[in-house]
Amino acid sequence: MIGKGAAIFGCEGLSLTAAERDFFRDYDPFGFIIFARNVDTPEQLRALTASMREAVGREAPVLIDQEGGRVQRMRAPHWREWTPPLQAIAEAGDKAAAMMALRSKIIASELRAVGIDANCAPLADVASAETHAFLRNRCYGETAEGVTKIARAVADAYLEMGVLPVAKHLPGHGRSVNDTHHDLPTVTVDRNTLIENDFAPFKALADLPMAMTAHIVFAAYDGENPATQSPEMLRVIREEIGFAGLLMTDDLNMQALRGSLGERAGRSIAAGCDIALHCKGVLSEMQEVAAAAGEMSDAARLRAHAALAQRLTPKPVDIAELEADLSNLTGEGRHG
């Protein structure tokens, strides 16, 4: 069973307000997303995710950004702190994919324990020396081949552990020299370079259940609209990269996008995104996004069903054994 609303929403605090419950019940969004402002203790977080699902009367997916490294919403003392940043893991050579798979299984176990069943990872963006700092130390490497290998290991580990991976940021964020939280970057390299480098990891991961778009202009295809709102870039994602899963926007509050939140949501859905992602948790903003995003299209509903069908019950694992294996590879183990 899936919701009817073409959106994913956060909430304002550590528990749902009565107004949020009423809004979620009436709009019935596809799913929810957790941020640091929503996290205190394991008991509190379990209660929050349960109340989100109770509000819509079904097992709606609950997402989080728990990449490990700089971006992780659940932190010590209740959850593991992952160091060093992912960039350092990417420099581990032949061990990197195995290390990241183990990390991902441990992260997935922590997520499942508090009712979270989707993670906004892996990053399949190919970095370079020019990549903006907000993204650079979250990337898995500087070659399409290396990034693909690690991203596949991460995605497979999450799926094995019953957590849906959300690949990001289609069709490739690595050439961004701006922080899309504040500015709209324009990539000017030619199509062949994009296809052979930036798009290649996403093409290799095109079978994943869900993915997130990039708020970046690719001038070789569409010199005006960011990929999130570009019908041409959505065609590239679907037809050339071959991604057939559920496609959500990156956060609509990021200032790379122009116009009101309603306009941002409407343009993204009209371009071909399945789901509008709004993370801030402000009720009036969510109401505006909901009105513009509307209900999921028939095609989006089919993709949503297919995505949720990959949300499996994991087999029991020995976390201590996983940590020991990781420690043997990295000397990392548990931190915090």
Q: Chain-wide mean pLDDT for the chain?
A: 93
State residue 333's pLDDT score. 44
Q: Is the pLDDT of residue 189 over 50?
A: yes
State residue 179's pLDDT score. 67
- 220 assigned to some structural domain: yes
- 187 assigned to some structural domain: yes
Write out pLDDT tens, residues 233-254.
999 999 999 999 999 999 999 9
- 41 assigned to some structural domain: yes
Write out pLDDT tens, residues 92-104.
788 899 999 999 9
Phi-psi sector, 74: left (phi>0), alpha (psi -120 to 50), beta: beta
* pLDDT tier for residue 256 given thresholds of 50, 70 and 90: confident
Q: Is the pLDDT of residue 20 over 90?
A: yes
Which CATH number goes with the domain that contains 114? Answer: 3.20.20.300
State residue 70's pLDDT score. 84
* CA atoms of 149 and 164, how far apart (whole Å): 18
State residue 94's pLDDT score. 86
* CA atoms of 257 and 88, how far apart (whole Å): 31
Residue 139 sits at φ, ψ, to 5 deg, of -85, 160
Residue 201: enclosing H or E segment and its boundaries?
helix 200-204
State residue 68's pLDDT score. 86
Of the chain, the percentage scoring pLDDT greater than 70 comes to 95
Closest CA to 118 of 80, 55, 66, 78: 66
Closest CA to 163 of 122, 134, 207, 124: 122
- 11 assigned to some structural domain: yes
- Distances in Å between the alpha carbon of 164 and those of 82, 105, 110, 146, 158? 20, 12, 14, 22, 6
Please state whether beta strands 5-9 and 29-34 pair in parallel, antiparallel, or not at all (unpaired).
parallel
108 and 157 in contact (C-beta within 8 Å)? yes
* pLDDT tier for residue 287 given thresholds of 50, 70 and 90: very high
Q: Is the pLDDT of residue 323 over 60?
A: yes
Q: The pTM is what?
A: 0.94
Q: Is the pLDDT of residue 49 over 50?
A: yes
Torsion angle defined by CA atoms of residues 47, 52, 54 and 57, in that order, rounded to the nearest 10 degrees: -160
Hey, is 269 helix, strand or coil?
helix
- 335 assigned to some structural domain: no
* CA atoms of 110 and 42, how far apart (whole Å): 9
Hey, is 309 helix, strand or coil?
coil
* CA atoms of 77 and 74, how far apart (whole Å): 9
Q: How many domains does the chain have?
A: 1
* CA atoms of 157 and 163, how far apart (whole Å): 9
* CA atoms of 37 and 284, how far apart (whole Å): 18
State residue 85's pLDDT score. 63
Q: What angle do CA 72, 129, 199 make, to 5 degrees?
A: 75
- Its domain, for residue 28, covers 5-330
- 336 assigned to some structural domain: no
CB burial of 48-80 (b: ≥16 within 10 Å; e: otherwise) equals bbebbbebbeeebbbbbbbbbbbbbbbeeebbb
* pLDDT tier for residue 334 given thresholds of 50, 70 and 90: very low
Pick 158 or 88 by higher pLDDT: 158
Write out pLDDT tens, residues 202-224.
999 999 999 999 999 999 999 99
Which tokens hold the place of 42?
């394991």
Active site residues: 181, 250
- 192 assigned to some structural domain: yes
Q: Is the pLDDT of residue 90 over 50?
A: yes
